[in-house]
Amino acid sequence: MRGGLAHGAALFVAAVLAVVLLAGARASAQTPPGQALAFDRGKGNCLTCHDIKGGEAPGNLGPPLADMKARFPDRKELVAIVFDETRRNPQTVMPPFGRNLILTDGEIEAIVDFLYTR
């Protein structure tokens, strides 16, 4: 009897764990990689200076990142800004994310993809 109870409890724990893991996987699948990077305080960290729709506790040092596709119809220009805004504006306080190897080229592309949805 005791072995059956332990077996049942183990199956229950396994089922609960599977549900939790699947829910987490679904949440991750719904968050675009660029959004995760832009909102990650230890990586892209865009929210420290910018207001972005959907972000929590945004900063106001930089401009709001809204209507980005209309503001930057040439996607390469926005990629260049994220890569190294000091080339365009030497007085900027924005970190050169690409030049300083904070973000990879692929991560910058993912962030720009995400910003184009805002």
d(C-alpha 55, C-alpha 72), whole Å: 21
Whether 12 has a pLDDT exceeding 80, the answer reads no
Output the CA torsion 55→109→48→98 (10° steps): 170
pLDDT digits (tens, 9 = 90+) for 41-62: 998 899 999 999 999 999 999 9
Q: Six-digit token pair at 103?
A: 């973000």
pLDDT band for 13, please (50, 70, 90 cuts).
low
Mean pLDDT, rounded, for 85-112: 97
Please state, as a whole number, how many other Cβ atoms lie within 10 Å of the Cβ of residue 78: 20
**84 class by beta-carbon count within 10 Å (0-12 exposed, 13-18 middle, 19+ buried):** middle
Using CA atoms, how far apart are residues 49 and 58, in angstroms rounded to an integer?
7
> Are the CB atoms for 46 and 95 separated by under 8 Å?
no
pTM of the predicted structure, to 2 decimals:
0.73
pLDDT of residue 2: 54
Average pLDDT, the chain: 85
Question: For position 87, what pLDDT does the model report?
Answer: 97
Higher-confidence residue of 64 and 27: namely 64
pLDDT band at residue 26 under the 50/70/90 scheme? very low
Tokens 């030497």 correspond to: 90
Joined together, the tokens standing for residue 44 give 């892209």
pLDDT of 31: 87
Is the pLDDT assigned to residue 90 strictly greater than 60?
yes
Token duo for residue 43: 């990586």
pLDDT at 74 over 80: yes
Joined together, the tokens standing for residue 86 give: 């000091």
